Structure 1
């Protein structure tokens, strides 16, 4: 009996040991082997990242030369090489940026002298945690501090008095000195000229990276009208970006567009000066016809003409170049004056000043201001009335992102005519 009991105890111990061994094996598999597999899977999903920043530098001691507009000229290449070396040396002096710095490219020059550039940093998958530290502010601070220090040294041949930098879609970083099939330099004049996306009117190719630099003589702005515009609907894949600059600097973006526009409502934009940059990016598996556009010049005296005194009993006024997009960097003021005893009624029949990341309750970028209140965004109807015989309407556009603007009607009315007053819509 004692022998059987002893045998039972031994069997129980063995079973317990076997169970513990099995549990241990499962735990090892879950936390070690499976954990390694999961980590490997996560690692496989982590892909390297790029950060590109673009902007311009103002050169105070360089005389402007027309040859600087040609990337194949000796003048362009010499000055571009010098500036690219300055950019590289500044970023290389800071360990954090030096580790990921790849290249800097000067893409164009314009009167001033302004040099347009972009800089690329490549971050490996293992270091993606540092991405939040790659801010525009930090990159610009490093660059500007380095340039100021260099400026203090004797013998520094280039004096840079201004520099900008903003984060840029890497797909728009183009090198005009490289052998690209889709890079164009256009010269605008009084006669309308045309350009098209590759493949138009059939289909543009997938993975297109096209860029058009447009220039005009000094004291002129550039007008571009897209008579046909049909891009894939998803703006994250395929889009056209237009800049009031020769650099894809978001702080000087005029607009980003995709989708289809009917010929009755064409996309029309106007620059604030004699330069403009247009990019076409196509990444989707769906190809569309693309676009056809015409470009020409507008004298700056005309393009920036707006505002004034309106003294007729009724009339119309609109944002500059309506129904085209209004230019960036404008301030206009209309003063409407009607006979004493009358008041002013203004009705905006079209009102659109939409911009990314703008709170319409604040209107800190583009806006109409009437009687101390700012209006922006998009409104189907807006009607305002004065309390006196005079009403000031102010319009402001900043340096980035424009829209169709507004069209308005005004008229004088007698406030004692209660029936007429109640027939309108007022805000």
Structure 2
């Protein structure tokens, strides 16, 4: 079925009738993480203004009689809508589309068709798939690499077609029409129902597609090809922004540039040089810091080794230390008969625990100490763990001393 949204991509409102509505559960994805399933209502209509996900294009959002639409999917010839509240079956309703989202998707999708066609016609780089992201999209080209000169050439031709105000026409064909054999496609879904839509960019490309598109390339405003990444199986990912996203992307770049001007006290032309200098200075400082921390750890270890008599247990904590610092202390003491309970990190933040010494004590004390500090770890002669509550170090020390005292009494 070809829906109203596909025939009238620029319409923002539409009146239709409710065909079905039943309770359902929907698993929403937010920031790439799955949330628990939410209660909603699975609803179908005689037709729909809201595009169901398909062809690489995400679904629309909007409202029906003021009720928010959470998802729209295609199931065979039906568009299934998931609503926050129920509707009366048989009643007339008013659908409203989130136009900013719809128009953005139209611009990115038509932009993808244009880039795909030009890259193929100029260099024979076919498109094997594409991804419409929330901020940046990419096209997967069937080539192991594409040069910057080729990218620049494609971008120039693409934007010339936009400046030419090239028309975009959508035509519907019967699925058995032989003309479809001459039209580019990556294949139709097995459950496709009804006419087949062909999106034609005049004198540029004709391609089967179910998505929503602009009616003229001038509506794309501009396209910027950003960069490439190596894809799978000798393919290349070509990233791009189209339409309003170009202005938004430029605005974000300008804002970052202004912030860097303030931070670096320089003009944009000096940013790269100054950041490289800062990186080199930081590497040098970190090397010096590591050497100083190692010297400090050796000094701490030496303080303990000169004690007479030497205690059977050694507690040590340093807020700004790391695992290398603790290892240096253990190496300097160099006595496996001494039980060493060492920690680094902030009292209320993440940190590290090391328990080292006699195996029987380490295997008993390590896990419990880690539990008190609310962390996880493991090891026999050297127990290491990542902990989150170093402010409880006193509890660990009391626990360790009680264990040692009990063992002394047992003897």
Question: By percentage of residues, which structure has more strand?
Answer: 1
Asked which structure has the greater RCO (Cα within 8 Å, sep 6+), the reply is: 1
Question: By percentage of residues, which structure has more helix?
Answer: 2
TM-score by length of 1: 0.22
TM-score by length of 2: 0.23
